[in-house]
């Protein structure tokens, strides 16, 4: 059987060891000969590489692990490039969150002004990554996790339309796992119908072994949101941010009960609730740095000092999903996933060039989106407003246009007015002067 060479762009990520372990857990079906880590932060990546190599060696010492800042060494001959860029790291994520909160506006990693700030940092590096792939690994598939996925996907659709790239997000998978817990079944027994943009969509039906369980699930989630019965027994040890987000699903369902909303819609449909629930001095970025980040680097330090391996990370859906998608591409499995794809009529009454998140079959030639019915005016209106915001932001980045950036911010539903949008935009410009394209 063929063995595969995997490059991970953003090799210094806290998620990298989990992806490596996910690859090793599937090694009988998807044998890997090399895992190459690529990052511009050499010191951080080298630390993460230590524990990544340890993880891999626990399963197969013959798999070669390399860490490099040289794109030619990283990507030459790679079969797959897993992209998970976090431009500016958690330091900039914290600013993305806290600057909007200081004005009473949602501060979030991928949604609202924080997501737009992150997007403006990420567009150029992702275009550069596509160019590296074309130069050094022209047959490789890029499977992209880099956030904000909707903005990145739109920029690459516009600027690198021929790139062999698949944009994915594990958020719907995480929601499906909780749905399975609520319904008392396995996640693999669930199939969903879903439409929207990334972090801006709705589940229209949920099937277990071909039978719709939507009515039962809607009734449960209208009361409890996505908080599972197991989580309810031990809220003290659950992730506080996600518990709030999952409870807010119930609030959204009470307003609009037709479909099951993505938990991320809370930032657009009930933004004031989110602001009221958040400590602006200690945001999600702080929690990530004090927990996931700290746990991983504590385990790396322990490994360096003692030679003992402590697993300070989780595999989670982030690792398993990207490997499952790669396997479907590699072996033409035609597995059904929720993906971010160009619409091209899949949702008849949305623009053809919209990058929508919908079910699609993954083949060796790429995704085959599933055709859907036209969507109702309420959802269409929300999606087209968000889509316009994202498209204008991409145009602002590519044209260096302050006016289009302001238009993008003003259209976003997290803002109460264009005046507030301008205030937040101007502060984010100053905070991101080392990362954003110049806007004039």
Is 170 tagged catalytic? Answer: yes
For Cα atoms 240, 179, 142, give the angle at the middle one, nearest 5 degrees: 85
Here the tokens at position 404 are: 């289009």
Closest listed residue to residue 210, CA positions, set 195, 193, 194, 191: 191
- Count of alpha carbons within 13 angstroms of residue 251, beta-carbon side: 17
Contacting residues for 12 by C-beta, under 8 A, at least 6 apart:
37, 39, 41, 44, 45, 47, 48
Residue of 158, 154, 150, 156 lying closest to 111 (CA atoms): 150
Q: What is the largest CA-CA distance in the chain?
A: 61
Q: What is d(CA 72, CA 13) in angstroms, rounded to the nearest whole number?
A: 20
d(CA 118, CA 86): 8
DSSP 253: H
DSSP state letter for 187: G
Of the candidates 136, 220, 259, 264, the residue annotated as catalytic is: 264
Q: CA–CA separation, 128 vs 135, rounded Å?
A: 11
Active-site position among 39, 79, 96, 170: 170
Q: Is 276 a catalytic residue?
A: no
User: 34 and 63 in contact (C-beta within 8 Å)?
Assistant: yes
Other C-beta atoms closer than 10 Å to the C-beta of 181 total: 16
CA atoms in the 13 A half-sphere facing the CB of 45: 21
d(CA 408, CA 425): 10
Question: Which residues carry out catalysis?
Answer: 170, 264
């Amino acid at each position: 059987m063929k063995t595969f060479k995997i490059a991970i762009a953003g090799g210094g990520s806290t998620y990298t060891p989990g992806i490596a372990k996910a690859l090793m857990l599937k090694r009988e079906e998807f044998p890997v000969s090399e895992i190459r880590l690529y990052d511009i932060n050499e010191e951080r990546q080298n630390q993460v590489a230590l524990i990544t190599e340890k993880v891999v060696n626990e399963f197969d010492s013959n798999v070669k692990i390399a860490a490099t800042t040289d794109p030619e060494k990283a990507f030459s001959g790679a079969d797959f490039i897993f992209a998970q860029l976090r431009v500016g790291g958690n330091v900039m994520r914290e600013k993305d969150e806290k600057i909007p909160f200081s004005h009473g506006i949602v501060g979030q990693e991928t949604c609202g002004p924080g997501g737009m700030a992150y997007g403006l940092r990420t567009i150029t590096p992702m275009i550069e990554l596509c160019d590296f792939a074309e130069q050094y690994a022209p047959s490789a598939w890029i499977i992209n996790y880099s956030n904000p996925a909707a903005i990145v996907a739109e920029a690459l659709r516009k600027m690198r339309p021929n790139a062999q790239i698949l944009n994915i997000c594990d958020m719907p998978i995480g929601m499906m796992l909780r749905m399975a817990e609520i319904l008392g079944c396995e996640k693999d027994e669930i199939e969903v119908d879903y439409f929207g943009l990334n972090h801006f969509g709705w589940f229209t039906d949920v099937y277990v072994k071909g039978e719709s369980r939507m009515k039962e699930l809607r009734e449960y989630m209208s009361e409890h949101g996505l908080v599972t019965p197991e989580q309810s027994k031990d809220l003290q040890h659950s992730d506080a941010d996600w518990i709030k987000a999952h409870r807010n699903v119930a609030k959204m369902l009470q307003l609009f009960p037709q479909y099951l909303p993505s938990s991320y819609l809370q930032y657009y449909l009930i933004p004031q609730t989110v602001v009221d629930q958040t400590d602006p001095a200690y945001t999600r970025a702080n929690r990530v740095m004090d927990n996931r980040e700290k746990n991983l680097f504590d385990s790396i330090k322990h490994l360096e000092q003692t030679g003992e391996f402590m697993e300070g990370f989780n595999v989670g859906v982030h690792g398993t999903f990207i490997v499952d998608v790669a396997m479907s591409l590699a072996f033409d499995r035609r597995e059904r996933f929720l993906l971010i794809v160009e619409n091209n009529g899949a949702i008849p009454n949305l623009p053809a060039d919209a990058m929508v998140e919908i079910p699609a079959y993954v083949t060796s030639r790429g995704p085959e989106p599933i055709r859907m019915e036209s969507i109702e005016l309420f959802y269409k209106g929300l999606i087209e407003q968000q889509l316009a915001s994202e498209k204008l932001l991409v145009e602002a980045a590519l044209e260096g246009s302050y006016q289009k950036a302001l238009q993008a911010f003003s259209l976003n539903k997290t803002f109460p007015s264009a005046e507030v949008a301008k205030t937040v935009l101007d502060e984010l410009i100053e905070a991101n002067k080392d990362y954003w394209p110049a806007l004039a």
